[in-house]
Amino acid sequence: MDSLTTQQSILVIQTYYENGRNIKKILFANFALVLTKRRRTFWPKCSFLIHFHLNGYVNKQNCRFWGAENPHEYHEQPLHPEKVTVWCGLWPGGIVGTLFFEDADETAITVNGERYRGMITDFMWPKLDRIDAEDLWFQEDGATAHTSRQTIAREISRLCSLM
């Protein structure tokens, strides 16, 4: 048995990638655990960005919803459901703003790098200036708007440091 079958090769590659993701998750979880022990206020200072689908669709990979209805019941739905993107910051003192990414007609718009940077400079910074917070954590994921060259080069990225 010198070589693997196609199915065995796919299984090996899939296991490799899943283990790589799991290792990254474990490393972050350990990092966050250390921070939580050092600073009890770590988690309440994180920010979140989420898509709310306007037709009731729930992304089951990121959210768990337990309901009284039959989960196997068939429901017709459009190919691309309507949704709106909302940004808000959470901290022990409450909610830091709530920004809906919409145009003048209140139609949901795509969050690109330019709009995201505008949200930070024109919305988030003024809101943060009004609250009495010693330090805050600003968390971003790998979304395109977060990783564009101009977004990475902005001031907030250069001000961050690890303990």
pLDDT, tens digit, 9 for 90 and up, residues 128-140: 888 876 667 766 6
pLDDT category at 163 given cuts 50, 70, 90 is very low
The contacts of residue 12 (CB under 8 Å, 6+ apart) are 4
The domain of 25 spans 1-38
Both 47 and 83 in a single domain?
yes
What is the C-alpha to C-alpha distance for residues 5 and 3, in angstroms, rounded to an integer? Answer: 7
Q: What pLDDT score was predicted for residue 161?
A: 45
Q: Is the pLDDT assigned to residue 104 strictly greater than 50?
A: yes
Both 94 and 145 in a single domain?
yes
Both 25 and 100 in a single domain?
no
Both 30 and 45 in a single domain?
no
Both 18 and 62 in a single domain?
no
Distance (Å) of CA 31 to CA 5, 34, 91, 129: 39, 5, 20, 28
Domain count for the chain, please give it: 2
Summarize pLDDT for 10-31 with one digit per residue, the tens. 666 666 666 666 677 777 777 7
Both 77 and 62 in a single domain?
yes
Both 56 and 10 in a single domain?
no
Both 91 and 126 in a single domain?
yes
Both 53 and 112 in a single domain?
yes
